[in-house]
Structure 1
Amino acid sequence: MSKNQDRGFWNAAQKHLIRYGGSFEPAIIERAAGSFVYDADDKPILDFTSGQMSALLGHSHPRIVSTVSRQVGQVAHLFSGMLSRPVVELAVRLAALAPGLDRVLLLSTGAESNEAAIRMAKLVTGKHEIVAFSKSWHGMTGVAASATYSAGRKGYGPAAVGSLAIPAPNSFRPRFKHADGSLDWQTELDDAFDLVDSQSTGSLAAFVAEPILSSGGILELPQGYLAALQQKCRERGMLLILDEAQTGIGRTGHMFAFQRDGVTPDILTLSKTIGAGLPLSAVMTTAEIEEEAHAKGFLFYTTHVSDPLPAAVGLAVLDVVEEEKLVERARNMGAKLSAGLSSLKQRYECVGDVRGRGLLLGVEIVKD
């Protein structure tokens, strides 16, 4: 009998775990290494999800293992008002990678970083309305959940006041089309903001967006869209927040996905990939926005803000990404993978679309 059928294990799980979405996989995972996780029978399972889309370097990377071992023996956690070298060093490294975004706040999760970003945007602008895409995912807490439209909206009562959504552009299923049938994203964006303006109470604070909507179906913002979106924000005095939880740190073939478009957001959030599977996230913004937020009393104390252990891991992640040229590798391997998937599209009618960028790709399966 398979060790995965351990009745005691599954009975305990059923009796004591709160289920948080969907069902659990019928395997007991004992360890993970590289691109594989191993079940109780020591059977390797290829991890196409990269953990929770976070294991940028694979599982149990030697550099991460040694960093955690070393740092936890020095200092892992501090009072939130204290600073350590890994925190400041990681802030310096991140600022160098994203010119113009010179100020950094280190937190734990993607939802937490989006909460902080939205809170900062509201404080700085003095407004409260937050706009997001209809297929977005920005987290399951507070205002981050209110800006998440791809799942989890029913049964929890009202969303945060001022939560607005516009349709996510979809080149495969365009709402507005040119004469040749291709997506007319400019007309779609104009129409969407006409609706935003008609619903707004005059208190538009920010637009929060993923450059590629991951949970929404790998919907890539067309070239030029991000710049046009930023212009819409500027015309209304809104800040542009980009959530690069899944696209950041090289996965798309750029260090940050927004770099392809030559657009720098007002606020950038990072998570998932920056910790390579450990809980680390970051909020990055301009010196001007941070100065104004601080002058207005910006407050975001959390238990694990500026913790040295995850910051040390973040530094190790950036070292490995640079030393092993993983940005270029994602670009090159992504091109090969995309070409291979596109060849399947030519052979099989059920493959409707292949889309994405770098090693963040999606395949849409269709019935007709």
Structure 2
Amino acid sequence: MSTAMTPDPAAAEQVRADDRDHVFHSWSAQAHVDSLPVAGGSGSYFWDYDGNRYLDFASQLVNLNLGHGHPKLVAAIQEQAARLATIAPAMGSDVRGEAARLIAERSPGDLDRVFFTNGGAEANEHAIRMARLQTGRPVVLSAYRSYHGASGGAIALTGDPRRWENESTGQAVAHFFGPYPYRSAFHADSPEQESERALQHLRDVVQLQGPQTIAAIIQESVVGTNGILVPPPGYVQGVRELCDEYGILLIADEVMAGFGRCGEWFAIDHWGVTPDLITFAKGINSGYVPLGGVIMGPRTTERFAERSYPGGLTYSGHPLACAAAVASIHAFEDENILERTRKLGETVVEPRLQELKDKHASVGDVRGLGMFWAIELVKNKETREPLVPFNASGAAAAPMGAFAAACKQSGLWPFVNMNRTHVVPPLTISEDELSTGLDIIDAALDVADEHTEG
């Protein structure tokens, strides 16, 4: 596919005008929206109508795992559209069944059934509904540093500031602190101690909330937008044991971390733990057609063997989305995506990020797995004061804005949130492209260094 285009300023202005005048944007003050008109994309790059090309180090919203314009996914969607573009969920579909089987075969433990949704928020909505119906309990526990979606139930689960103006008092949700060794809420001085103290904190929350009231604990296997927080040794296993002790279901939110992003089919595979439910979306088909779902085992499906499950979606298991999912899973295996993701993470990303940490005054911490990494920027390495305040906006967020602008000026599109930049390119990225992107981040960190102290 082409990786360049003839500049077309008139087309750019039309796209910008239509977007500005008629599109209502999420998470935005509408008067300040100025979207980049995007003309196309191929592999690890996308480009605008002015001929500017960007290395996509954000994978758009960390969903474009197989990159832009992957020929196998495009062909699968085209072929399915020509044969059967849509069908009701109650009817049998070959690609829906095949997608479910392929997902089940790659899921941990005895998880063998898939309920399809249109995305991650809906997946989490249905997972907590299933948990409440299965246990007969109302409460769900979720971490403060988390994001589970923007729909009513999912935003109540979310721990970050996006919840504040959306939270419904009708949701039975309680929050807890998950492990975060770099900024430990438990004053731990090692990852092992962080794990031990975080588990004790969670146990205390369960006891105080009343274990008999708790249907599920939902957690991102690796926290995504809120900092790419990799659980310390023993934590995931400890949460599983706590859930088993009190009959609480464990829901693994793999919407961002799953389908290869962490070098395994599911991030939780790193710890050898089988949750009761897994939610997924994004990387299942790189977002080419919206798709998400809940993976469950016999304990959940048997609950609804003779009793109808009270939920459904018009587009559950949409054929175009499922065709893309089938093609994606086969592409993962044909192209050794999991193996190369692990290798590039271990041999290219991790050592280079450690170099950046040693080199730059603004880099306080680096962490991650596979192709899922965070660089945490600080004003002072000794005090660990963030480069910008928590949930900063306007002038207070300017240092991160300057860093992001430097990246874009050099042809890299970054994923920036609060005081972090995330390294989350397509899993198909070449080693040369990856090195180029890291070089651009290296140079842009010089801008961030200008805002440090001492």
Same fold (TM over 0.5): yes
Aligned to 1:146: 156
Q: Which residue of the partner structure matches residue 46 of structure 2?
A: 37
Q: Which residue does the alignment assign to 2:368? A: 356
Question: Residue 172 of structure 1: SS of its match in structure 2?
Answer: helix
- Structure 1 pair 272–24 and aligned structure 2 pair: CA distance change class (3 A): farther
- Look up the match of 1:13: 19
Q: Write 1 or 2 for the structure with the bigger share of helix.
A: 2
- SS of the aligned residue for 1:73 comes to helix
Between the aligned partners of 1:4 and 1:364, the Cα distance in structure 2 is: 40
Q: 2:243 matched to 1:237?
A: no
Aligned match of 2:260: 250
Return closer, same or farther for 1:157/1:315 CA change in 2, 3 Å cut-off: closer
The equivalent of 2:343 in structure 1 is 332
In the alignment, does 2:76 pair up with 1:64? no
Residue 201 of structure 1 deviates from its aligned partner by 7.9
Structure 1 residues 86 and 7: CA distance shift in structure 2, 3 A: closer
Cα pair distance change 1:3/1:294, threshold 3 Å: farther
Aligned length: 368
Of stretches 324-333 and 181-190 in structure 1, the one that deviates more from structure 2 is 181-190
Q: Does the CA-based 8 Å contact 1:169-1:221 persist in structure 2?
A: yes
Match of 2:310 in 1: 299
Residues 81-96 of structure 1: pairs in structure 2 closer than 5 A:
81-96=90-105
Say whether residues 1:48 and 2:57 are aligned partners. yes
CA RMSD of aligned residues (A): 2.0
**Do the aligned partners of 2:262 and 2:370 also contact (CA within 8 Å) in 1?**
yes
**Quick check: 2:152–2:168 contact (8 Å CA) kept in 1?**
no
| Structure 1: unaligned runs, 5 residues or longer | none
State the distance in 2 between where 1:102 and 1:180 align. Answer: 37
Alpha carbons of structure 1 residues 4 and 101: separation in structure 2 relative to 1, 3 Å: farther
1:153 corresponds to which letter in structure 2? R
In structure 2, stretches of 5+ residues that fail to align are 1-6, 381-454
- 1:74 is aligned to 83
- Partner of residue 232 from structure 2, selected from 215, 222, 228: 222
Evaluate the alpha carbon distance shift between residue 4 and residue 258 of structure 1 in structure 2; reply closer, same or farther with a 3 A threshold.
Answer: farther
**Contact kept in structure 2, 1:252 and 1:358, CA below 8 Å:** yes
Q: Structure 2 CA distance, aligned partners of 1:296 and 1:266?
A: 19
Shift of 1:253: 1.4
SS for the counterpart of 2:242 is helix
1:25 Cα shift? 5.2
Q: Classify the secondary structure of the residue corresponding to 1:367.
A: strand
Distance 1:61 1:136, change over 3 A: same
1:26 CA displacement: 4.5
Give me the whole-angstrom Cα distance separating, in 1, the residues matched to 2:351 and 2:308: 51
Q: Tell me the TM-score normalized by structure 1.
A: 0.94
Distance 1:154 1:120 in 2: 25
Question: CA 1:77–1:151 in 2, change beyond 3 Å: closer, same or farther?
Answer: farther
- Give me the whole-angstrom Cα distance separating, in 1, the residues matched to 2:322 and 2:35: 34
CA distance in 2, matches of 1:308, 1:2: 35
1:317 paired to 2:317: no
Once superposed, which parts of structure 1, at least 4 consecutive aligned residues long, lie more than 6 Å away?
none
Map Cα deviations across residues 258-282 of structure 1 (whole Å, 9 max, x no partner): 1111100000111000021221112
| Structure-2 change in CA distance of 1:180 and 1:45 (3 Å) | closer
Query: Which whole-Å CA distance do the structure 2 matches of 1:69 and 1:222 have between them?
Result: 44
1:156 matched to which residue of 2?
Answer: 166
* Aligned residue in 1 for 2:354: 342
Deviates more, 1:94-103 or 1:349-358: 94-103
Identity %: 31
Are the counterparts in 2 of residues 4 and 41 from structure 1 also a CA contact under 8 Å? no
Counterpart-to-counterpart distance in 2, 1:126 and 1:346: 52
Q: 1:159, 1:334 → 2: CA distance?
A: 42
1:197 is matched with which residue?
207
The range that moved more, 84-93 or 15-24, is 15-24
Change in Cα spacing, 1:183 to 1:25, as seen in structure 2 (3 Å) is farther
Alpha-carbon distance change, 125 to 295 in structure 1, aligned in 2, over 3 angstroms = farther
Per the TM alignment, residue 188 of structure 1 is displaced from its structure 2 partner at its CA by 2.4
